[in-house]
Structures are given as structure tokens and as C-alpha cells.
């Protein structure tokens, strides 16, 4: 939301204090404030005004603020540019991994010839002999082999890249295993899967000479309007590109970017680890607050129970006192009539019940204390 300048306030400020004092209030320099006042059509003190005022000499009177006739947008304050967030310090574990990948001694090189293939790459080679044909008519490995979906012209290259990558993972201490569906790489306790993919472009389908000849003879024929054409550009994906992705470009082939791929994986793995650690701290604090709240709740429930028992005891004590007072009055009335002897058993029974009700007399036992279960 745009903030509008208060012209009357600014006029009062520039005629009360020097420009050097007023300018910082608007995050401007002295020259910038002068330009702002001209844009807002606010007169400023002439040169030498403050020197003459300090010396006690007569100065120009403060002018009145005239009606603004400039561009309406000049009345609004330009919002300050957003302050970029302070970048978080690089995690020490990630810094070590990145430094290792950027060390020339650890540069991953794809050789021209491979003598001993990785067992999982051998399995992928066998799978490509009887491939699955995907919707782009591209041969792909059958699960659970290493996921490779490239044209026959790129298969040898893709297999070499996969072989070098899997060996590089293992050399760095990242176990490589065959999962139920994909080849998994375990980095910092997180599982990632590898996929090699060749991009395609969609082009108009060009019928073969045989198809055209059959059509010319009147034979039934059909061909699609378009088809996919392999581009020859490989992509190496980690978790479908969400944890790392490199691809052939006009400047660099995939083979020159394999260390970059591992850097991306390391970044994702450390971020996941940091997030898990941060969440563990949050969960521990939440659990601590929960346990404290539960303990407080137990104390509260205990206090409520004690208070309830106190109220019950007080109520029963008042009942016992009321019965005793009634029996005393009854006894006096009967004594005056001379018939107290006839009601003496009732009076004794009543006093016994009052004693049973009285919480101050805990030793009193009565039939009312019994829990009687009548058998069927």
C-alpha cells in the first residue's frame, strides 16, 4: 500500500530544522530532500537562512502552503525495496561434501572402454535386449532393473554413464542396492533412485514408401498424425529430477556434469537431514510441553478431586449437624410431653446415622457402607 506524503508536516519540518536534520527522517540525502520538496511544491528556506536566524538577524517569514497542482503520483512515497533475506550459513557437512566433489582429484571421468561392468548395469544391459516400449516408442528397461529409457543409438553411452555413476557412489560410501522397483542410492540415511532418460520432440509423421504405395493401391492404411523423435540429449535424474538433474547442453555433455549431479544430491540430502533434525528439536520441545501440560492437568484433576471430596465432607457434616439438632429438639419436645421413652430407639438410631454421615468420625461402620449384590 502506497503511503502519501503529508505536505503540511513536511513544510513545518523544513522551516523548523535544517535539511541535514530532516533528511534522515525520510531516508534521504540533503539533495534528495531538496528534490522531494520541489516535486511536492513545498518552499524551503533560502540560502543563509539558518545563519541569519542564529545570528538574530531578520529572516524571510515562513510561507503558506499552496494548493498542489503537480502530478498526483508525486504525492505518494515510493516504497522501499524489500530487504533480501540473510542467507543461512552453509551446513558444515554440506561444505565438506561440496569441497570433496569440487576437488580435481575426485573428478568423475567416463572412460571410452569399461572392462568390468557394475552388476546392476549388467542387469540393465540384459533387460534392454527385451525392452518395454514406452508411449514414445522408446525402449526402456524392465523393472526392477536400473531405469534407462533411451534410443538404441544412446544405449551404450547411457550404460557407461550409469556404470561410472554407480561406482562413484560406492567409492564415496553411498551404498547402491537393487530395490523392489528401482536402483537405490543411500546418502546420509536417505534413499534416492537413479534414472537415465533421453528427451524427444514431437514431429509430423512421415509415412513410409510402402505405406504410400499400399494407400495408392486402395489398401486400407492408417498412420498417426505425429510421432516422437529422439533428440540424442541425455538426462540423468535423481528422484525424477527433484533431488538432482543434469542434461546435455550445447556447451556441456552429461559426462562433464556428473560431479555437479552429486553436489545436487548432497545438497538435497543435507537439507533433508537438517530439516529432520530441526523437526526432531521441535517435536522434542512439543513433547516436553505436552508432558508438562499433562503433569499440570494431573495436578489440576487431583485438586478438583480433593475439592470435591472436601465439599462432600462439608455437606455431609452439615447434614449430620442438622440431624443432631433436629433430634435434640425432638427429644426436648417429647420430654416435655412425657413420651420420650417411646421414641428413644428412634433417637438413638438417628444419632447413629448422624455419626455415620459425619466425616470427622471415620471409624463409624454402617450397613450403608456395604455393597450388596443380589444373585440372579
User: What are the pLDDT digits (tens) for 22-52?
Assistant: 999 988 899 999 999 999 999 999 988 988 8
Q: Is the pLDDT of residue 1 over 70?
A: no
From the number of C-beta atoms within 10 Å of its C-beta (0-12, 13-18, 19+), residue 145 rates as buried
- Judging by DSSP bridges, how do beta strands 132-133 and 183-187 pair with one another? unpaired
- Give the 3-state secondary structure of 122-138: HHHHHHHHCCEECCCCC
What's the pLDDT at 108?
96
Q: Are 146 and 183 in contact (CB under 8 A)?
A: yes
195-235 pLDDT tens trace = 999 999 888 888 788 877 877 888 887 777 878 889 999 99
Give me the pLDDT at residue 269, please: 95
Exposure string (b/e) for 223-256, b if CB count within 10 Å is 16 or more?
eeeeebebeebbbbbbbeeebbbbbbeeeebbbb
pLDDT (tens digit, 9 = 90+) per residue, 77-111? 877 777 777 777 889 999 999 999 999 999 999 99
Report the alpha-carbon distance of residue 22 to residue 30 in Å, rounded: 8
**223/274: higher pLDDT:** 274
Say what the pLDDT of residue 73 is.
87
Measured CA to CA, the distance from residue 231 to residue 248 in angstroms comes to 10
Query: Contact, 6 vs 36, CB < 8 A?
Result: no
How many whole angstroms separate alpha carbon 10 and alpha carbon 17?
Answer: 11
pLDDT of 133 above 70? yes
- In angstroms, the first-to-last Cα distance of the chain is 81
Structure-model confidence comparison of residues 161 and 1, the more confident one? 161
CA angle 162, 165, 168 (to 5 degrees): 150
Query: Is the entire prediction scored with pTM above 0.85?
Result: no
Q: Which of 203-207, 275-279, 332-336 has the highest mean pLDDT?
A: 275-279
Pick the closest to residue 123 from 43, 187, 179 (CA basis). 179
CA distance 83 to 60: 42
Distances (CA, A) of 372 to 293, 340, 357, 369, 375: 41, 35, 19, 9, 10
Ramachandran area for residue 133 (φ above 0: left; ψ -120 to 50: alpha; else beta): beta
β-strand partners of 191: 186
CA distances from 181 to 128, 143, 185, 186, 193 (A): 16, 6, 13, 15, 9
Question: Rounded CA gap, 182 and 162, in Å?
Answer: 13
Amino acid at each position: 500500500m502506497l503511503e502519501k506524503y503529508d505536505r503540511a508536516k513536511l513544510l513545518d519540518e523544513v522551516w523548523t530544522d535544517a535539511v541535514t536534520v530532516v533528511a534522515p527522517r525520510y531516508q534521504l540525502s540533503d539533495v534528495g530532500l531538496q528534490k522531494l520538496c520541489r516535486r511536492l511544491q513545498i518552499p524551503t528556506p533560502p540560502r543563509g537562512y539558518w545563519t541569519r536566524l542564529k545570528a538574530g538577524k531578520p529572516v524571510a517569514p515562513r510561507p503558506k502552503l499552496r494548493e498542489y497542482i503537480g502530478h498526483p503520483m508525486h504525492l505518494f512515497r515510493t516504497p522501499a525495496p524489500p530487504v533480501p533475506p540473510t542467507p543461512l550459513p552453509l551446513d558444515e557437512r554440506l561444505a565438506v561434501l561440496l569441497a570433496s566433489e569440487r576437488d580435481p582429484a575426485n573428478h568423475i571421468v567416463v572412460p571410452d572402454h569399461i572392462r568390468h561392468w557394475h552388476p546392476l548395469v549388467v542387469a540393465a544391459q540384459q533387460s534392454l535386449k527385451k525392452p518395454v516400449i514406452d508411449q514414445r516408442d522408446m525402449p526402456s528397461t524392465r523393472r526392477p532393473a536400473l531405469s534407462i529409457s533411451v534410443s538404441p543409438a544412446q544405449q551404450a553411452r547411457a550404460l557407461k554413464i550409469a556404470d561410472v555413476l554407480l561406482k562413484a557412489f560406492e567409492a564415496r560410501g553411498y551404498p547402491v542396492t537393487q530395490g523392489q522397483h528401482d536402483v537405490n542410492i543411500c546418502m546420509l540415511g536417505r534413499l534416492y533412485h537413479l534414472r537415465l532418460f533421453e528427451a524427444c520432440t514431437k514431429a509430423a509423421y512421415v509415412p513410409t514408401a510402402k505405406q504410400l504405395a499400399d494407400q495408392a493401391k486402395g489398401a486400407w492404411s492408417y498412420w498417426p498424425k505425429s510421432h516422437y523423435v529422439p533428440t540424442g540429449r541425455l538426462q540423468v535424474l535423481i528422484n525424477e529430477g527433484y533431488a538432482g538433474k543434469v542434461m546435455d547442453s550445447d556447451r556441456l555433455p552429461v559426462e562433464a556434469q556428473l560431479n555437479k549431479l552429486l553436489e545436487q544430491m548432497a545438497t538435497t540430502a543435507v537439507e533433508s537431514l537438517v530439516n529432520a533434525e530441526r523437526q526432531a528439536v521441535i517435536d522434542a520441545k512439543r513433547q516436553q510441553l505436552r508432558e508438562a501440560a499433562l503433569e499440570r492437568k494431573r495436578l489440576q484433576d487431583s485438586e478438583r478431586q480433593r475439592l470435591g471430596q472436601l465439599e462432600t465432607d462439608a455437606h455431609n457434616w452439615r447434614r449430620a449437624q442438622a440431624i443432631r439438632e433436629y433430634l435434640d429438639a425432638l427429644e426436648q419436645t417429647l420430654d416435655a410431653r412425657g413420651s420420650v421413652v417411646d421414641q428413644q430407639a428412634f433417637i438413638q438410631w438417628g444419632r447413629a446415622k448422624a455419626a455415620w454421615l459425619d466425616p470427622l468420625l471415620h471409624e463409624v461402620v454402617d450397613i450403608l457402607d456395604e455393597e450388596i449384590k443380589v444373585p440372579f
